[in-house]
Amino acid sequence: MRYIKDDLKDKMILITGGAGFIGSNLAFYFQNNHPDAKVVVLDSFRSGETLSNGNLKSFGHFKNLIGFKGEIISGDINDKDLLLDLEVNYNFDYIFHEAAISDTTALEQDLMIKTNVNAYKDLLNLAVAHDANMIYASSAATYGNAKSPQRVGRESPQNVYGFSKLSMDNISREYMKEVSISIVGLRYFNVYGKNEYFKNTTASMVLQFGHQLLAGKNPKLFKGSDKILRDFIYIEDIIQANIKAMHPKQSGIYNVGTGKARSFQDIVDILQKELGTNLECEYIPNPYIGSYQFHTEADIQTTKDGLGYEPRFEMEDAIKDYVGEIKRVYKEEVV
């Protein structure tokens, strides 16, 4: 679905983290709906490099971009020479900043701040130099254990990732006072959908439960999963919010969720219906009690007002739309 009327002819768009989950979906949105735009994807792509927790440092994967016809640059947003090259040799109209160390369990505080905060400020300066509107990924992790519904201004990050995203928001607010470009931070809640598989263990439980069921395994849920609620949002609505953020009514920080909290039990029940399975759930003790959010729900009224955003997908509709992709990925990547 096309979310804006502009044809974007001859407009130049930079997508950082463009080989990742959300960035690659953005790249194909523009290719499919605005083919006359020039889209440049920047990603560090994955190597064997890992964080101290054993997870990959970069989740960018070439398979997420198969079929993409725009320009692709392999590079690190911490590379100041690369950013200088982008400033001198390109002329961007819009920058979608999705690149980050996004692993919420990462312990490398220095790398997290350098990549998520310091490099973001450099990219903001690039946006100002090009007079390019900036749309960047913030996160619901900024709220930590704040009570639902989560509202901008009630932040309490519990890990360095959430802290880094809140720091990005604080920098953005300072720039908003001084520059003419629009700057929009989008606080994503629990996102699921196409191209998330290469996030490995950090992929959504929608995908993970789907693959458990396809493997004939009983889905494992924490005890009381019918009472553990999250604001799960489909990738299509994330893309909608990003596109509408290109020309906001005003710069700002906005929640991007559905405004409805659903349970992990709901996910399994809907998947079983769509996959035609009837496997018994196994309920295991929750080892994270005391450090685990039992309820997230985005307050999206300001997002509706400021961006004209309106979530389109209920969980039932989204999983029905997604299940074919879950099956494809299982067949091609898992089996």
Quick: pLDDT tens for 263-277.
999 999 999 999 999
Residue 313 pLDDT level (bands cut at 50, 70, 90): very high
Residue 192 lies in a domain: yes
What is the rounded average pLDDT of the residues 63-77? 98
Instruction: Tell me the CATH number at 117.
Output: 3.40.50.720
Q: What is the C-alpha separation between 26 and 20, in angstroms, rounded?
A: 10
Question: For residue 214, what are the domain limits?
Answer: 12-334
Pairing, β 282-284 against β 262-263: unpaired
Q: What is the C-alpha separation between 111 and 99, in angstroms, rounded?
A: 13
Q: Which pLDDT tens digit goes with each residue over 300-310?
A: 999 999 999 99
What is the rounded average pLDDT of the residues 195-205? 95
Q: Please indicate whether residue 273 is annotated as part of the active site.
A: no
Pairing, β 220-222 against β 190-192: unpaired
Residue 7 lies in a domain: no
Residue 269 lies in a domain: yes
Residue 1 lies in a domain: no
Residue 32 lies in a domain: yes
Question: Is 263 within 8 Å of 216 (Cβ atoms)?
Answer: no
> How many H-runs (helices) and E-runs (strands) does the chain carry?
10, 13
**What is the model's pLDDT at position 54?**
86
Q: Which residue out of 161, 192, 309, 322 is catalytically annotated?
A: 161
Q: Please indicate whether residue 304 is annotated as part of the active site.
A: no
- Beta-bridged to residue 137, according to DSSP, are 186
Q: Is 80 exceeded by the pLDDT of residue 293?
A: no
* Average predicted confidence (pLDDT) for the chain: 96
Which three-class secondary structure state does DSSP give residue 220? strand
Q: Is 80 exceeded by the pLDDT of residue 292?
A: no
Query: Nearest CA to 41 among 9, 7, 65?
Result: 65
Could you tell me the pTM of the whole model? 0.96
Q: Which residue out of 165, 199, 234, 322 is catalytically annotated?
A: 199
Under DSSP, the state recorded for 104 is T
> Phi/psi class of residue 211: alpha, beta or left (left: φ > 0; alpha: ψ in -120 to 50)?
alpha
Residue 50 lies in a domain: yes
Q: Which pLDDT tens digit goes with each residue over 150-180?
A: 999 999 999 999 999 999 999 999 999 999 9
Please report, to the nearest 10 degrees, the dihedral formed by the alpha carbons of residues 242, 199, 24, 102 taken in order: 50
Residue 2 lies in a domain: no
Residue 185 lies in a domain: yes
**What is the model's pLDDT at position 327?**
98
Q: Which pLDDT tens digit goes with each residue over 205-230?
A: 999 999 999 999 999 999 989 989 99
Number of domains in the chain: 1
